[in-house]
Amino acid sequence: MQTKSSYRVLNWTLLAATVASLATACVVTTSGDVNGDGGETSTTFGGEPATTAGKTSGGETTAAGKTSTGGGGSGSGGMVAMTGGETSASGGEPAVYVPGVCDGDTAVPSMVPACAPAAVTDACNKCLQTKCCEEWKACNSTEPMSACAAGAKAGEPGQFDCMTKCFADGAMDAANANDLLAECAGKCTLQCDATDNGNPTQATNDLVGCANDAETGCQTECFPF
């Protein structure tokens, strides 16, 4: 194991094909009477109806969506945990978890969080929100959540968290940091392995790139070797 490294970010050779996943405007339409006993809301992306809906009837409310929160990171200094928090108000029924979206998915995250370094305690997240704010925000965007920060199942890590843990677990035995990082990238495509042809998402790639810059990023805090 080398004691000091100047290794730089991975240039994903896997990401040869650019995914055109720009979202069109989100249109919200609402119908229902003024008494609130039949109102229904639907959301469309680019004219196509989305699946998120809220409906009130007779005082009972159901929520077919999820809530997400920022703050805290993984024990290995990874991303903010944003993979849980789904709620439903219909008699305590749990909402259906929706995995973080991949570059090949049609849905594009539209809600972007603010960087708030003081709100987190782990060194990696604090550094990322200070030095890699734009990349961190893209990774942690929601509505829906990105696969960069949200895993295939509720409570599971996203791609970036997976990579920081994989790197930390292998750092003691690895001979080369770049090789280890590439190996972890291949192991952490998660639910996007087939959808994105075995590539990390662009948001993951960008955040790893910024974090792993020895001079301007958060290499010591997120990918110590």
pLDDT single digits (tens) 202-215: 999 999 999 999 99
Residues 137, 192: Cα–Cα separation, whole Å = 20
Q: Which residue has the higher pLDDT, 163 or 88?
A: 163
18-32, 46-60, 140-154: segment of lowest average pLDDT: 18-32
Looking at residue 92, its pLDDT comes to 65
Give the chain's mean pLDDT.
72
What is residue 109's DSSP assignment?
-
Q: Which of 86, 194, 83, 198 has the alpha carbon at shortest distance from 148?
A: 83
Looking at residue 95, its pLDDT comes to 81
- Please state, for a pLDDT cut of 90, what percent of the chain lies above it: 56
**Please, which residues have CB within 8 angstroms of residue 43's CB and are 6 or more apart in sequence?**
26, 27, 28, 49, 50, 52, 53
| pLDDT reading at 9 higher than 90 | no
Model confidence band, residue 169 (pLDDT cutoffs 50, 70, 90)? very high
Q: Are strands 40-45 and 48-57 parallel, antiparallel or unpaired?
A: antiparallel
| pLDDT reading at 149 higher than 70 | yes
Model confidence band, residue 217 (pLDDT cutoffs 50, 70, 90)? very high
Q: How many CB atoms lie within 10 A of CB 91?
A: 7
Asked if 133 and 218 count as a contact pair (C-beta separation under 8 A), the reply is no
